[in-house]
């Protein structure tokens, strides 16, 4: 399903009643009406730019895990819950997406600097527990697969659980699916819509602990399908609570929504509190900007590079978002990238990357946690300007913090980070900006630096 104005596959997997009700919930006005929480004053004379004054780009991969092809094993569960739907011949789909493909994909992405989020479903379609055993594969197969994720993927990709099974809801007290085989008890659908923040946090933490047992580090969570679509405040608070409880995450984030129309896809920094104390908190909602235009969630729907960026490099969704200055976050599903061994989705992705590289020289590929951290610092840092002096009071640190302000003196700017004078090097063009540099543009200057937590000052 490729409806450009909806959440495509993520809505398809909800129960019919939930999907109908969710139609209004994805409106950006509703999302942005969620409590932002505390905000500190920011002087309008200082503009916070994108990191290094570049265009953030990222890739979200859903439905990935170790070895298990979620389409092959998941479709029978969905068809059980909704007998009138999911008519795909799942037996014809491969049961495995091999590590040789993970290796090929990961090496290509590293060569081209691609970063993003890669899901690891902890108990994929109830086949087996990744921190115990995976029936149908040897223990060595599983251990080698996890090792590949840790060593190849984790440096450049956030690892997220997609709840626990991505199919049946698991009773966290027993570790077994609930006995009712209805749409309500599919993770993508009804069960999550009436749970408290504590109940959702308990559920998320269960999945996070499995990945922690596997030696995987997580700062965020991906919702399968419609999980929490009608329970957004508790979803956000549950993410904040569970990531802090299991990993001690400073800035948790989650992926729940994507928009392919005119709505903003800027990250949402929510539930900020304690910004002037020792324990600041917030949670960031990451928003995708494309549908799955690679190969579909089941590896049966061929996609197109043109929907991302056209062959003449002028049209498509990505140039629209990049022109707005918002993070251009592509969304896909691992079975569709593999496309049942033909790698059709992967080839489309490579064409998209090729076209982006041909069109732009100012892209900055980022992990989701890097985007979340930057946006938290961008929105929550207190910024005061008096005369030639700018004071930053940051509850959260971030790298490549970039600002623009008036240059009111002929001398070079002086930067003091957390009480320590820091040298700045002048560069001759905005694209040369990196941490520790500044650029003069007429009566204004742009400065890029690693912003520490606490108070820092800039004299212009």
- What pLDDT digit, counting tens, does each position of 144-173 carry? 999 999 999 999 999 999 999 999 999 999
- What pLDDT digit, counting tens, does each position of 356-391 carry? 999 999 999 999 999 999 999 999 999 999 999 999
Model pTM? 0.92
pLDDT of residue 205: 98
Which residue, among 392, 284, 368, has the nearest Cα to 48 in the 3D structure? 392
Q: Per DSSP, which regions of 290-443 are E strands?
A: 328-333, 363-365, 382-386, 389-394, 398-406, 414-417, 420-422, 425-426, 437-441
- Local confidence band at 408 (pLDDT 50, 70, 90 cut-offs): confident
Q: By CB neighbour count within 10 A (0-12 exposed, 13-18 middle, 19+ buried), where does 53 fall?
A: buried
CA distance 87 to 80: 11
Beta carbons of 130 and 142 less than 8 angstroms apart = yes
Which residue, among 61, 4, 25, 58, has the nearest Cα to 372 in the 3D structure? 58
- Local confidence band at 424 (pLDDT 50, 70, 90 cut-offs): very high
Q: Per DSSP, which regions of 3-53 are E strands?
A: 46-48
Which residue, among 317, 322, 326, 427, has the nearest Cα to 378 in the 3D structure? 326
Beta carbons of 265 and 308 less than 8 angstroms apart = no
- Local confidence band at 5 (pLDDT 50, 70, 90 cut-offs): very low
CA distance 50 to 35: 24
List domains and CATH numbers for the chain.
Answer: 9-38+55-374 (3.20.20.370), 380-459 (2.60.40.1180)
CA distance 241 to 423: 39
The answer, yes or no, to whether residue 332 has pLDDT greater than 50, is: yes
Helix (H) or strand (E) segment spanning residue 106: helix 99-112
């Amino acid at each position: 399903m490729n409806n450009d104005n909806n959440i495509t596959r993520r809505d398809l997997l909800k129960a019919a009643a939930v999907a109908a009700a969710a139609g209004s919930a994805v409106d950006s006005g509703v999302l942005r009406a969620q409590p932002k929480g505390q905000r500190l004053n920011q002087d309008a004379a200082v503009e916070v730019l994108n990191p290094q004054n570049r265009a953030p780009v990222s890739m979200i991969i859903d439905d990935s895990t170790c070895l298990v092809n979620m389409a092959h094993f998941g479709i029978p569960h969905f068809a059980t819950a909704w007998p009138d739907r999911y008519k795909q011949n799942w037996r014809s789909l491969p049961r495995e997406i091999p590590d040789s493909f993970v290796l090929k994909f990961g090496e290509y992405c590293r060569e081209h600097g691609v970063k993003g989020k890669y899901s690891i479903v902890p108990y994929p379609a109830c086949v087996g527990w990744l921190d115990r055993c995976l029936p149908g594969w040897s223990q060595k197969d599983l251990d080698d697969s996890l090792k590949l994720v840790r060593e190849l993927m984790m440096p450049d990709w956030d690892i997220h659980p997609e709840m626990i099974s991505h199919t049946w809801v698991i009773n966290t007290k027993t570790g077994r699916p609930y006995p009712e085989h209805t749409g309500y008890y599919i993770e993508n659908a009804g069960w999550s819509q009436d749970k408290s923040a504590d109940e959702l946090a308990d559920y998320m933490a269960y999945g996070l602990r499995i990945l922690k047992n596997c030696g995987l580090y997580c700062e965020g969570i991906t919702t399968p399908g419609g999980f929490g679509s009608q329970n957004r405040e508790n979803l956000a608070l549950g993410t904040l609570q569970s990531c802090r409880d299991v990993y001690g995450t400073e800035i948790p984030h989650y992926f729940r929504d994507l928009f392919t129309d005119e709505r903003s896809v800027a990250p949402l920094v929510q539930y900020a509190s304690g910004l002037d104390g020792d324990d600041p908190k917030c949670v960031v909602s990451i928003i995708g900007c494309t549908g799955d235009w690679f190969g579909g969630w089941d590896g049966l729907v061929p996609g197109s590079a043109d929907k991302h960026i056209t062959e003449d490099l002028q049209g498509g969704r990505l140039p629209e978002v990049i022109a707005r200055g918002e993070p251009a976050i592509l969304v896909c599903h691992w079975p569709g990238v593999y496309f049942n061994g033909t790698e059709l989705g992967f080839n489309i992705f490579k064409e998209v990357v090729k076209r982006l590289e041909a069109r732009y020289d100012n892209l900055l590929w980022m992990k989701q946690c890097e985007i979340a951290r930057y946006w938290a610092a961008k929105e929550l840092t207190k910024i005061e300007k008096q005369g030639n002096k700018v004071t930053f009071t940051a509850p959260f640190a971030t790298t490549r913090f970039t600002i623009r302000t008036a240059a009111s003196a002929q001398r070079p700017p002086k930067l003091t980070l957390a009480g320590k004078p820091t040298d700045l090097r002048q560069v001759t063009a905005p694209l040369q900006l990196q941490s520790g540099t500044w650029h003069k543009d007429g009566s204004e200057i742009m400065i890029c630096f690693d912003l520490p937590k606490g108070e820092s000052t800039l004299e212009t």
